[in-house]
Structure 1
Amino acid sequence: MLAPSPNIVSSPPAPRADASIVAGEDAPTWLAAAFAIAGTLVAVMSAALWQQAAAAPDTVAAAAVPQTMITQPAPKPSDTPVPLPALITAPPMPLPSAIPIEPPAPPVSTARTEPQSAAKAPAECFAPLAIAFERGSTRPHPGDMKRAQAVLQKALARHGDATILIEGHADASGSEDLNVLLSYSRAKAVAELLKKDGISPRMSVSAAGAGLARGDSQAAANDRKAVLRIAGVDDCDHLTEAKRP
């Protein structure tokens, strides 16, 4: 009988498995979690591949449509010429008839009417008034003053701002200095009466003396007077003598 070899090591007896433990139940917890994650990934990838496979035929069909449309041959143009529509010619428009233009009427001249109106309205004038005096007196004749006032009121209605010119006269009797003083006093007396009656506040008094006396008795009576005029208004052709009643 051979002796046992010293190099052979006898293994210990394996433990006997418990009949109540399921295989893998004693596996660690992290291994179970890893298998769960791997299973989830496999399921997600399978679903994605399935959806991609279902959509692939539609994409291929959609891509094939443009190729079919491009590859279709273009229709050949017809050899028969297409008739063009007939041109419609519009009737010629009639030319506008020439409208005669009347020459403008010449402007109406007013130069002819002005002389006519001037002829109808003669230039206004004022006949000087004469107030008589007695010899050597400075008192105006009452009747002459009354008539002169009526005439002056009408004349000043048209010339309200005019000035009454009063010029005193004397006859040739007496000295020259006396006649100048007498004629001035007569003009001044007339002005005072007119001012008192409210005829006009604008009056100018002057003395002519005896320079215009004619010498005879009748002329001397006519020289003893005061002559009234309106400044700015021309004298009429004759001298209006105030008549006594």
Structure 2
Amino acid sequence: MGKRFLGLGPAVLLAVAVPGIAATLTKLQTPRGVAGAVLNPERPEADTVRDADRKPAEMLAFAGVRPGWKVLEISPGGGYFTRLLSLAVGGNGYVYTNATRASTAVEAWAKAHPNVSQQLVQPGQLGAPEPVDLVWTTQNYHDFKNNKIGDSDQAALVNTAAFAALKPGGVYLVSDHQGAAGSGATQTNTLHRIEDAAVIREVEAAGFKLEARSAILRHEADDHTQKVFETGLRGKTDQFVLKFRKPRGRR
């Protein structure tokens, strides 16, 4: 059936066939593109088994993803969200992935989905041939803090580049592993965490306005003292999800 799922009716009707997601999709009033993307049978099993932890329907709905959107995804890794975003924006949308190293998984998906392309960029740089509606990055911001480029760290350059890449009114979605209260950016290289307050300060300094934050990926059992890769914690870390907006009228 492939991408025909993108044209199905309201999320509540889709949920009838998949009872486990009924409450979530109905509560969020999930856009049809998002609901169709999550349920699309093209998604590999390696992705769908991670959905309980990564909450893709809630994440895309929180960002406001719509069919036809142009998206720039930073450091897509294995392409988990690349695949979801490409299905959600549909044939009239596009996903530009930016990374410093090529991803074979993203390349494979792009070969079968003409609304995705992989672009290699220098650290701190971003590129898309047109203004985008959404810049998206998950579990990467703390790594940007560990890379110095001249007198700046990579995060500062990424924030500036994200602002330039977005249409006025566009969304910048940042999610990462929460650091301990008051830790700021001091745990980025040790525990691979960063405090949300530090991210908010830095992103707003680049011209964005924080529009909303979400508890979608909160895990209160995580006390922020362990590396995010520890057995039993991986995939269950306490994570923040922040939605910033580029002010309208800004270019």
Could you tell me the TM-score, scaled by structure 2's length?
0.25
Greater RCO between the two (CA within 8 Å, min separation 6)? 1
More strand by share: 2
The structure with the largest alpha-carbon Rg is: 1
Could you tell me the TM-score, scaled by structure 1's length?
0.26
